[in-house]
Structure 1
């Protein structure tokens, strides 16, 4: 899997210059990261403010700025009324266009930006609502989802979905798994292996949750091939997935060959959110993300407690996602 430095190198060596928008220009951490990204030539950055009085005096002149409440953008107003036709009155549309999270999403929709990073002040719900209503889910998937890159030393794993979908059905769960596998391939993971997690291993337990995972795996079997670079297996408990000796004993016919798979798909948000936080706090893994998959263009959410380093790493991966979208 590529490191952040590897991704930076690939970004700089690519001929696509990504336009990255930060709706929270008023935040000093955002300004610091935006300045780093602009100076390093990783993207062309736009910062959004409510008014010109919020703009820092020493802001890098190469960074573009927009003051969303000083002038009503009539093109954006017309566009959001078109997108939300029949569900939004004009007076409500005026309010949305002057919200920086919606303004940033509309910039992406109208090809004024390629990607967005938001969430230092906005809640996850605020960030994703704007993304899902305006940028929208790709026609290739039934759902958008989230992943965390769990990093510790030389170890890197992908956990999904830990931040977005409360109780995905089998179709949704299979799309969540497939998107995560494709994301791993784009990060240069070789021969991606995906574990579909449950409280049951190969039929050892019963219940609706087990059935859901089993049905998702059945759906994925029509998609997976070694030639495509990935394999899925499940349902399985986490110890069976993570420790090969246990897997060999509990699941002797398992197709997974690696000591530890690359991607871990949780059956619901409850288990996923708890799982990544246990790994983070007890296992001392760094949780990088969440990154949102399945949108037409990248929009990624920040924790409201994100550090400058967190924001910078999220921005690098977001820029790389946008390049992958463009190269497609």
Structure 2
């Protein structure tokens, strides 16, 4: 059995003067609690549990609320409640939410976590192990919003298996796997730009972007193929220095022998792609879960790239290791922003 790339060990000996403060909201999930205790032992992240004061009863198993370290619990007192109530009202003003709706939101650890993020009590937020991605994305887009100058937010997975990592010995990056169900050609080109930037940020390696399809270089004729070709053209027009190609099938993007058979061996991407742009959210979601479930995989995400503040969703099928890896990637982003 093969080994994972060294990417996952990048923080092992890191010493920081200020540890990123990462909040977790799904405190009734035993996987979150196990990951919390693992992360707490690390020297480069401060984990916080959010929302215990609004959840009745004891935590799973034998672990009760009072047994958790109080310095790692974030709650909302009356003064804080009023501050966050006003802040979340302001942030959502264009969505015409009323005061009663925001009061209900503040009973939800997700919105409490976003409030703590907006008021700088934490630096990053991990959510989603017990709720659909759509809920996390909606709250983040409404209350945090895209980073200035950023037109689109997307969900990125860093993913590899014990048998396959990129030719640069890094994970691959899959996008979009969380936000845009059926992006236009322009939307796909923007997703690709964010994914290329994200890959380079996390790995330090040059991105090679593959616009995925069921066709390679015109081998099939369909309006779905036309859409991918247009997305690639737009990407090249606005990002001429990036290496990208498409439309291309997954096997040709990964395997130079297949690329030669399909007559794209001269492509700058074929056989060595490290960033995969899926044509729809549906295909991206299915794709990453197939890799995850059919192999021994290492996964982080979906990391929500393009927000004003660092937030990551989690798959409801995530493992403890995936939660830890996602928190580490989010802490990388925090350190970049700070």
TM-score category (smaller protein): 0.7 to 0.9
Query: Offset of 1:114 from its aligned partner?
Result: 1.4
Alignment equivalent of 1:211, drawn from 219, 226, 234:
226
- Residue 149 of structure 2 aligns with which residue? 140
Gaps in structure 1 of 5+ consecutive residues: none
Alignment equivalent of 2:283, drawn from 226, 247, 271:
271
**Structure 1 residue 292 corresponds to structure 2 residue 304:** yes
Cα gap change, 1:271 to 1:297, in 2 (>3 Å): same
- Residue 221 of structure 1 aligns with which residue? 236
- Residue 6 of structure 1 aligns with which residue? 10
**Partner SS, residue 309 of structure 1:** helix
- Residue 188 of structure 2 aligns with which residue? 173
Do 2:181 and 2:282's aligned partners in 1 also have CA atoms closer than 8 Å? yes
Alignment equivalent of 1:109, drawn from 113, 118, 136:
118
- Output the aligned Cα RMSD: 2.5
**Partner SS, residue 273 of structure 2:** coil
- Residue 199 of structure 2 aligns with which residue? 184
- Residue 202 of structure 1 aligns with which residue? 217
Do 1:26 and 1:49's aligned partners in 2 also have CA atoms closer than 8 Å? no
Tell me the TM-score normalized by structure 1: 0.87
1:274, 1:293 → 2: CA distance?
20
Cα gap change, 1:213 to 1:314, in 2 (>3 Å): same
Do 2:259 and 2:271's aligned partners in 1 also have CA atoms closer than 8 Å? no
**Partner SS, residue 88 of structure 1:** coil
Do 1:46 and 1:66's aligned partners in 2 also have CA atoms closer than 8 Å? no
Gaps in structure 2 of 5+ consecutive residues: 59-63, 166-170
1:277, 1:161 → 2: CA distance?
13
Cα gap change, 1:128 to 1:8, in 2 (>3 Å): farther
Deviations along 1:275-327, whole A, 9 cap, x unmatched? Answer: 2233233354444322221111221112223332221111111111221222x
1:179, 1:78 → 2: CA distance?
32
Deviations along 1:116-138, whole A, 9 cap, x unmatched? Answer: 01112222122222111111122
**Partner SS, residue 3 of structure 1:** helix
Do 1:105 and 1:131's aligned partners in 2 also have CA atoms closer than 8 Å? yes
Query: Offset of 1:254 from its aligned partner?
Result: 4.4
Deviations along 1:99-151, whole A, 9 cap, x unmatched? Answer: 11011112222222211011122221222221111111223332211122221
Query: Offset of 1:64 from its aligned partner?
Result: 3.3
1:26, 1:299 → 2: CA distance?
19
**Partner SS, residue 146 of structure 1:** strand
Tell me the TM-score normalized by structure 2: 0.85
**Partner SS, residue 43 of structure 2:** coil
1:325, 1:75 → 2: CA distance?
25
Cα gap change, 1:140 to 1:14, in 2 (>3 Å): farther
1:224, 1:37 → 2: CA distance?
38
Alignment equivalent of 2:327, drawn from 285, 310, 315:
315
Query: Offset of 1:232 from its aligned partner?
Result: 0.9
- Residue 231 of structure 1 aligns with which residue? 243
- Residue 304 of structure 1 aligns with which residue? 316
1:128, 1:257 → 2: CA distance?
31
2:237, 2:306 → 1: CA distance?
20
Structure 1 range deviating more: 54-63 or 131-140: 54-63
Query: Offset of 1:195 from its aligned partner?
Result: 0.7
Structure 1 range deviating more: 19-28 or 130-139: 19-28
**Partner SS, residue 328 of structure 2:** helix
Count residues with an aligned counterpart: 320
Alignment equivalent of 1:73, drawn from 76, 81, 101:
81
Deviations along 1:165-222, whole A, 9 cap, x unmatched? Answer: 2101112111111111111112225232111111222223222222221121112113
Do 2:125 and 2:310's aligned partners in 1 also have CA atoms closer than 8 Å? yes
